[in-house]
Structure 1
Amino acid sequence: MKTAFLKNLTNYGYSFLLLPAFSYSSNTAISFEVHHLLRKYQAKQKAIFFHPNYLKSLAQFWKGRGVRAYRLSTGFMITSAAIELCQDVTLYGFWPFSKNLDGKPISHHYYDNQLPKPGFHAMPKEFYQVLQLHHKGVLKLQLGECEKR
């Protein structure tokens, strides 16, 4: 299993692998195991973690703007970090509904076909905030398919 994991990562070249080490205590051990595995086999990817205080501050910031949930979605956390770190941010695939604009069923994760547990994330409220950021020009939200080049 470790070999397959490392082989799959080669597709991403020199990149960062954001791991949820401090989102829940149950994620800590596996996240550090992945970190040590990457170092042991000298993978091109580097494991990174959100600092626990950053996650707490981020949750408080968005809670003050009406996003109240058990936990922010990973996509919303990464969007928030991207806004802080990047000059230009374009989002594709950030969609809180179970069907796309053409009415085709879609999942919320790229790796499974499962919808989030009810009440776990505040996807519509997160999406509303993303729409507001798009409207203000803070980021660009790509809703339809990307143009083919």
Structure 2
Amino acid sequence: MRSCKMVRVASVLGLVMLSVALLILSLISYVSLKKDNIFGAPRAAGPGGPRMYMFHAGFRSQFALKFLDPSFVPITNSLSHELQEKPSKWAFNRTAFAHQRQEILQHVDVIKNFSLTKNSVRIGQLMHYDYSSHKYWKNKHLSPKRLSTGILMYTLASAICEEIHLYGFWPFGFDPHTREDLPYHYYDKKGTKFTTKWQESHQLPAEFQLLYRMHGEGLAKLTLSHCA
């Protein structure tokens, strides 16, 4: 009888210790989330603008979800399927593209910003030092400290190209097809978290959402499939 009771007590103690361990891990995760402030809306979210929220799945991986905006299409395999497997449904809207080009040229001096001379070359040359391009994108509810190189390249392309196809603009730390960790932005580390450290410079998820909407409007063709 005593041995039975001791076994039961040991089992109860084991369950208690396991519960405490899980509670500690949960608290660590919660404190990490609070510290990074990843539940707060990014600065791009203005009145009526988009709100991006981050959450942890387990203790390692993370995903981005969109709330409070019915027009947003969740980032899932179905989105990738829509972008890749049904190209015939995408049609270039030449009229809307021409209108957007005129809007951009009203805010951005393309010749000044993108012309490189021997005396003007500097670190971060690609318009990072000149914020005229931010004026246009701010009207689209996108106002980070610095626009990403990807969105700046779109700004350049919109002024000099007849049609734009974007490849590889995927700002999340996981593969949309396999869910495996990916190198984030231009860093080599895989599975990097999008936290306030990134938001201090860029708003990549918000840029992706904007580009996806432009894809739907026929302004640019987004391609997310793997390179051959």
Give the TM-score normalised by the residue count of structure 1.
0.57
The whole-number CA distance in structure 2 between the counterparts of 1:51 and 1:69 is 14
- 1:89 matched to 2:164? The reply is yes
3-state secondary structure, aligned to 1:128: helix
3-state secondary structure, aligned to 1:87: coil
The whole-number CA distance in structure 2 between the counterparts of 1:104 and 1:67 is 28
The whole-number CA distance in structure 2 between the counterparts of 1:105 and 1:137 is 30
- 1:130 matched to 2:130? The reply is no
Shift of 1:88: 1.8
Misfit runs of 4+, over 6 Å: none
3-state secondary structure, aligned to 2:154: helix
Deviation string 1:40-72 (CA, Å, 9 cap, x unpaired) is xxxxxxxxx44678x422111111211121111
Distance 1:72 1:134, change over 3 A: same
Letter in structure 1 aligned against 2:215: H
3-state secondary structure, aligned to 1:134: helix
Gaps of 5+ in 2: 1-112, 114-118
Asked if structure 2 preserves the Cα contact closer than 8 Å seen for 1:76 and 1:126, the reply is yes
Alignment size in residue pairs = 103
Report the equivalent of 1:106. 182
Larger Rg: 2
Shift of 1:86: 0.7
Gaps of 5+ in 1: 1-21, 23-28, 35-48
3-state secondary structure, aligned to 1:81: helix
Letter in structure 2 aligned against 1:99: F
RMSD between superposed Cα atoms in Å: 2.8
Deviation string 1:1-24 (CA, Å, 9 cap, x unpaired) is xxxxxxxxxxxxxxxxxxxxx9xx
Give the TM-score normalised by the residue count of structure 2.
0.39
Asked if structure 2 preserves the Cα contact closer than 8 Å seen for 1:92 and 1:141, the reply is yes
The structure 2 residue matched to 1:118, chosen from 193, 198, 201, is 198
With CA pairs under 8 Å and 6+ residues apart, which has the higher RCO, 1 or 2? Answer: 2
